[in-house]
Amino acid sequence: MGVLHTISPMNASPRAIAPRLALFGILTPIWLLGFATVLGATRAGYDPFRNAISELGADGSPNPLVWQIGGFAVAATLELVYAFALLREFGRAWLVWLTVAISILLFASGSAPCDPGCPAMPASGKMAIHAFAGLSVFASMMLLPIVGWRTFRARSAWVGFASGSLGVGVVLTVLFAIGPVLGPDRIGIWQRTFLTIFGTSQGVVAWRLHGRLQHGGHLETAIPGRDRSADRYAAPTPPARDRKEGTVQ
C-alpha cells in the first residue's frame, strides 16, 4: 500500500510526474509496432512485409476496432502524454507541437478507417481522411528530428544530440521520398522500417529527457550565441546562487 501511494500521480507533484511521462516516448513506438506484429500474426493471409499496418483496422477486416482503438488510439494517447514531458523541458517549441500533431493524426487515422485493402486511391470519404492523416503522420515524423536538431543545438545539455537528430531526419526524408516508388507490395516493410528508425530516435531522446527531468534539468539556459528562437517559450532560468554564502552570482 505504501508503494502504491508513492507512485500514484494523485500524490505526486508535477516535477515528480514529468520524468515518468518522458518514458511514454519509449512506449509509443514499442506499442505501435509490437501490437501490430502480434495482431498481424493472428490474421490469416496478413503479411507484415506487404500489407499496410492500417489494414489491421480496415473496413471488412476481422474485429477492426481492436486495431483502431488498441493500436491507433492507445499510441495516440501515449504520444500525447510524452508531449507533456517535452513541454516541461523545452517549453512551447515546435518540437512539442509536432509531437502533439503526431498524436492527433494517429487518433484521426483510427477514427476514419481505410477501405478494405487500403487502396492507394480513396474510394470513400473515410478513406480520404485516413490517407491524409496517415501521410501527415509520416511527414510529421520525418520533420520532427530536423526540428529537434534545431532545438538541441541551442541547448548545452542537448547539443550532443543535434547531429544524430539531423542524421535521422535525413534518413527519414530519403525514405519518405522513395516510399511512393516502392510499389504497394512493399508498403508493409517500408512503414515498419520508417517507424523503427523514428521510434529508436524518439526512444533515445525520451530516455535522456527522463534523466534530465529527474534532476530538474529543464532549468538550464540556452547556449549563448546560438539560435534561441526555439527556446523563446522555455521556462525561465533562476539565478545561480552561491551555496556557501547564499549570494546571487
The model's pLDDT over 191-214, given as tens digits with 9 standing for 90+, comes to: 999 999 999 999 999 999 999 998
Distance, C-alpha 241 to centroid of its chain: 37
Identify the CA nearest to 85 among candidates 10, 27, 39, 43.
27
Instruction: Select the more confidently predicted residue: 153 or 238.
Output: 153
Average pLDDT of the chain is: 84
| Grid coordinates given for 173 | 526524408
Q: How confident is the model at residue 13 (pLDDT cuts 50, 70, 90)?
A: low
Phi, psi of 175 (to 5 degrees): -60, -40
pLDDT of residue 113: 87
Q: How confident is the model at residue 244 (pLDDT cuts 50, 70, 90)?
A: very low
- Look up cell 511521462; give the residue: 21
pLDDT of residue 51: 92
Phi, psi of 124 (to 5 degrees): -150, 165
pLDDT of residue 248: 43
Question: Does position 234 have pLDDT exceeding 60, yes or no?
Answer: no
Instruction: Select the more confidently predicted residue: 241 or 23.
Output: 23
Question: Does position 233 have pLDDT exceeding 60, yes or no?
Answer: no
Q: How confident is the model at residue 4 (pLDDT cuts 50, 70, 90)?
A: very low
Phi, psi of 18 (to 5 degrees): -50, -45
3-state secondary structure 127-189: HHHHHHHHHHHHHHHHHHHHHHHHHHCCECCCHHHHHHHHHHHHHHHHHHHHHHHCCHHHHHH
**What single-letter amino acid sits at 178?**
I
CA torsion angle 164 172 75 125 (round to 10):
160
| Grid coordinates given for 27 | 512506449
Q: How confident is the model at residue 180 (pLDDT cuts 50, 70, 90)?
A: confident
pLDDT of residue 31: 97
Q: How much of the chain, in percent, has pLDDT values that exceed 70?
A: 81
pLDDT of residue 17: 86
pLDDT of residue 8: 46
